[in-house]
Amino acid sequence: DNSVPKPPTPSPLRNSKFFQSNMRILVTGGAGFIGSHLVDRLMANEKNEVIVADNYFTGSKDNLKKWIGHPRFELIRHDVTEPLLVEVDQIYHLACPASPIFYKYNAVKTIKTNVIGTLNMLGLAKRVGARILLTSTSEVYGDPLVHPQTEEYWGNVNPIGVRSCYDEGKRVAETLMFDYHRQHGIEIRIARIFNTYGPRMNIDDGRVVSNFIAQALRRDEALTVQAPGTQTRSFCYVSDMVDGLIRLMEGDNTGPINIGNPGCEFTMMELAETVKELINPDVKIKNVENTPDDPRQRKPDITKAKELLGWEPKVSLREGLPLMEEDFRQRLGVPKKN
Which residues does the annotation mark as catalytic?
Answer: 166
Binding mask 250-279 for ligand UDP (x = CB under 6 A): ------------------x-----------
Contacts of 62 (CB under 8 A, 6+ apart): none
Contacts of 116 (CB under 8 A, 6+ apart): 80, 81
Count CA atoms within 13 Å of residue 13 on its CB side: 7
Q: Which of 57, 180, 266, 311 binds ligand NAD (CB under 6 A)?
A: 57
Q: In whole angstroms, how far apart are CA 47 and each of 34, 41, 71? A: 21, 12, 12
Interaction of residue 164 with ligand UDP, rule CB under 6 A: no
Identity of the residue, 36 or 195, whose beta carbon is nearer to ligand UDP in the bound complex: 195
Interaction of residue 56 with ligand NAD, rule CB under 6 A: yes
Q: Which of 106, 274, 290, 303 binds ligand UDP (CB under 6 A)?
A: 290
Instruction: With CA atoms as reference, report the closest residue to 95 among 133, 54, 125.
Output: 54
Interaction of residue 245 with ligand NAD, rule CB under 6 A: no
Interaction of residue 244 with ligand NAD, rule CB under 6 A: no
Give me the amino acid identity at 162.
Answer: V
Dist. CA 229–CA 202, nearest whole Å: 23
Q: Select the binding partner of residue 126 from ligand NAD, ligand UDP, none (C-beta < 5 to 8 A, by kind).
A: ligand UDP
Binding mask 187-216 for ligand UDP (x = CB under 6 A): --------x----------xxx--x-----
Contact 168, 157 (CB under 8 A): yes
State the burial class of residue 292 (Cβ atoms within 10 Å of its Cβ: 0-12, 13-18, 19+): exposed
Interaction of residue 239 with ligand UDP, rule CB under 6 A: no
Interaction of residue 162 with ligand UDP, rule CB under 6 A: no
Contact 131, 189 (CB under 8 A): yes
In whole angstroms, the minimum distance from the beta carbon of 80 to ligand NAD comes to 4
Contacts of 145 (CB under 8 A, 6+ apart): 156
Q: Which of 8, 40, 72, 81 binds ligand NAD (CB under 6 A)?
A: 81
Instruction: With CA atoms as reference, report the closest residue to 170 among 196, 197, 150, 193.
Output: 193
Q: DSSP string spanning 161-172?
A: STTHHHHHHHHH
In whole angstroms, the minimum distance from the beta carbon of 66 to ligand UDP comes to 27
Q: DSSP string spanning 215-241?
A: HHHSTT--EEEETTS--EEE-EEHHHH
Q: Which of 83, 146, 179, 318 binds ligand UDP (CB under 6 A)?
A: 83
Q: Which of 42, 50, 59, 298 binds ligand NAD (CB under 6 A)?
A: 59
Dist. CA 36–CA 40, nearest whole Å: 6
Q: Which of 21, 45, 224, 254 binds ligand UDP (CB under 6 A)?
A: 224
- How many residues line the site for ligand UDP (CB under 6 A)? 23
Q: Select the binding partner of residue 123 from ligand NAD, ligand UDP, none (C-beta < 5 to 8 A, by kind).
A: ligand UDP
Dist. CA 160–CA 164, nearest whole Å: 6
Q: Select the binding partner of residue 58 from ligand UDP, ligand NAD, none (C-beta < 5 to 8 A, by kind).
A: ligand NAD
Q: Which residues bind ligand NAD (CB under 6 A)?
A: 28-29, 31-35, 54-59, 79-81, 94-98, 113, 117, 135, 137, 193, 195-196
Q: Which residues bind ligand UDP (CB under 6 A)?
A: 83-85, 100, 119-120, 123-124, 126-127, 195, 206-208, 211, 224-226, 231, 233, 268, 290, 294
